[in-house]
Structure 1
């Protein structure tokens, strides 16, 4: 049954994504508002499929505050990468550059507003990330980052990537850390399982801390459900 649900989910999500990519292209000349509404509708549709096809529920401990924050999220599966658009109120998401060069889909991500990171570009990638992030907060949008840099397996807690500390220092924003355990139901390979994904919003971390301290606090908070 899990394999059949996963297959049906994958088919419907691909069709939904194709529809919304086309819709964003169509409404793009009419401004940011219509573009964001279509992207958020895509995220809401994904959430509906997760709940009703995969029978996965979300349970939240805490709430993400509104306003310009640096939101640091544990990353274990694709599900939170899509759902962040719904729960984080129009965030600008730091994502790997490879996703932004996918035909049509990549253009939509850039049109909505993301911060592409070229992991091979070194210091220049960090500088470009800072410029894009400062433009995002100038528009009142939060910046969302997966500070460990990539998806990790449940129970793993690698050190934070250097880009997080650079963003934290450059933006001067408080940090909202979020722990979650999606990987227990959403493996990299194989069927997705029904159940509940738990999200835990940690204590807000103020700006201006030294690198070692902020990294230690964020690392502990996003791994609180390990």
Structure 2
């Protein structure tokens, strides 16, 4: 019975969340077209709305830990659900994502993503996608902000292992910007698929920046170790049983 009630609450929450996206997109549209500042304000307002309604509608609180990055940095993050996107973007002053090109066709989301400086890439052709990603980032260098890339390239469920892609190391190497890893446990409460939202405290944690000068292999090893170790800690804190890392 308790599960059924929570599922119904989750259904209402998800429905109003997407309805609010449409409302915010329409209300802010004139300002967003006139200024990138308006587009960013719309996205931040929606992120705050989702986090606030999640707290009282389904009992899902959210918490951002660590020093929030500012200035020109690359954020290499763990990706478990849509919630970590919302939390990271809402926390940083001027976030922009490396995102899959298919999202450009999503109503409201795609249009606003382009407006705030997100970089769409085709994930179907790895080498070409990386080259195009670096070119697009370089061309968009006039738009200041924090470039967010999901280091594993896709959402990964809690407790599942997946390789770290080369894209984050290419950006680290070629842009010459600090790289801030980010860990999360969001997938425990907000799954990759499905309606049910579990009560609890979802956390995104910004970790200390990786030093400049690491080679590609050294960077990926350090990034994976930092992000996975911190994410495991957060997931255990949320009650998930995980085997010790080798």
Smaller-chain TM-score bracket: over 0.9
User: TM-score, length-normalised on structure 2?
Assistant: 0.85
- 1:225 matched to 2:238: no
State which of 5, 8, 11 in structure 1 corresponds to 2:9.
Answer: 5
CA contact (8 A) 2:84 2:204 kept: no
Contact 2:62 2:201 in 1 (8 A): yes
Instruction: Note if 1:147 corresponds to 2:151.
Output: yes
Q: 1:107 to 1:190 in 2, by over 3 A?
A: closer
C-alpha spacing 1:88/1:97, structure 2 compared with 1 (3 Å): same
How far apart are 1:137 and its partner, in Å? 4.3
Shift of the 37–80 alpha-carbon distance from structure 1 to 2, 3 Å rule, reads same
Which runs of no fewer than 5 residues in structure 2 stay unpaired?
A: 233-246
- 1:71 counterpart residue number: 75
Tell me if the contact between 2:60 and 2:197 (Cα under 8 Å) persists in the aligned partners: no
CA displacement 1:6-45 (0-9 Å, x = unmatched): 1111111111011122234322332112221112111111
Q: Which residue of 2 aligns with 1:23?
A: 27
Task: Please state how far the C-alpha of 1:135 moved relative to its aligned partner.
Answer: 4.0
- Is the 8 Å Cα contact of residues 180 and 210 (structure 2) preserved in structure 1? yes
- Work out whether 1:189 is the aligned partner of 2:189: no
Instruction: Give the 4+ runs in structure 1 shifted more than 4 A.
Output: none
Tell me, yes or no, if structure 1 residue 169 matches structure 2 residue 173: yes
Matches of 2:70 and 2:179, distance apart in 1:
12
Counterpart residue number, 1:111: 115
Q: Distance in 1 between matches of 2:19 and 2:97?
A: 23
What residue number does 2:238 align with? none
Number of aligned residue pairs: 226
Q: How does 1:44-59 map to 2 (within 5 A)?
A: 44-59=48-63
CA contact under 8 A between 1:92 and 1:136: conserved in structure 2? Answer: no
- Asked if the contact 1:62/1:201 (under 8 Å) is kept, the reply is yes
- Which structure 1 residue ranges, 5 or more long, are not aligned? none
TM-score, L = length of structure 1 = 0.92
Alpha carbons 1:97, 1:117 under 8 Å: kept: yes
C-alpha contact 1:24 1:108 (8 A) present in aligned 2: no
Paired residues for 1:114-125 under 5 Å: 114-125=118-129
Matched, 1:86 2:90: yes
RMSD: 1.7
Give the corresponding residue for 1:37.
Answer: 41
Determine the structure 2 residue equivalent to 1:102: 106
Distance 1:41 1:110 in 2: 17
